[in-house]
Structure 1
């Protein structure tokens, strides 16, 4: 998790609204810079930072605003500088290096994400945990991995021989753009725990089980199958068919 950002509330020179000064931390410099620039503009002193004007009153106000938005340790480091521009540049230079390190870490992390795949003997929970860990680390570094991308990566990274039928079923039954990561992991855990056991005595004939599976799933999308007079969820039917197809093909 990132450092806690304390927010200081100030009133602009004109008008009764309040402006929040964001507190600079070790991990939020880019966002802090955008917000702080806006605060200085609202107080009509951003031009002082840009031009290094020596207009005393505006310089004092701009410096005062920045001192409200940086940690005490940093105030001690830049407190002797006499213009708002010098203070701004000193803050920037102390964080540019950190931002470059963060970008490098993010690139390494996303490379790891792209190459990640589930091992044959690995459990669904363990692999989902590895994906979630990368996603959390990326979020801390300022890169949010969209849930739909996480879902597709998860399905694509499963061992093909072991999960090909259930993945094909879920891709046809579910909308992967709106299905949550937790939901898709839960479905695969159910499949993993139940195993490729035969659930019915339906004969699957022909050379291609995959073609028959696709036809059956398409039918289920339009009409729910009934067993003993009770309707069952389409997704559970798809899981059963995937298991059955895998048993016959094996």
Structure 2
């Protein structure tokens, strides 16, 4: 069975089919059913208003009950078919799928534990993780409890990845996390994440200091390999034995691969004056 929703005076009729209750989707089913009945002003048969007349409620109860039966699987329908009012049908279904007070308390305790252990998985996006937290709030509501926005905000800020830590610090500094809306915090985190992604693309990726230092070291090695190193030990500088492997030119014999102090050839004097036999005499 489907209810017919009217869009006001002169509006077109829109059929509102009842979702099927399978046993595993009670929370979502109950939300949809309440919305559809409320749209047809039939929810007052479940929660009567102060000025609702008994005759009016009795008249509306029959289509509301028939609407519910149209969304029940056969095995579930047989168990509630003896209920005469819509309120009795819904109460019976809630008792079966939600449980009595003790069962409700136990389920609520389990749900709190699940919420405390909830973390953002490696492959989750912010939207996916936010839906998990919002789903927890819906489960709380189905058990008659409330998951406050402050708890949801704290869970979100405490469990997001490290790359969003800067945004988290800004939110905690400039917003009151006890009163700020969950959707607003989610929007701020998403905006920061998108801005960071655009910045990385604009800069061509992150540049790390250790990579720059490595490049400088490679450049020095290339310079020395091409003969850029010099032997300065004759000037009295202290060089350890490990430096003997550097490529340099011996000032004594002119051969590379060793320093002049280690040269096996006899040491030559460095004459700074010109050979008088090769140059004309000065007058």
Task: Give TM-score, length-normalised by structure 1.
Answer: 0.45
Larger helix share, 1 or 2: 1
Q: Tell which structure's C-alpha radius of gyration is larger.
A: 2
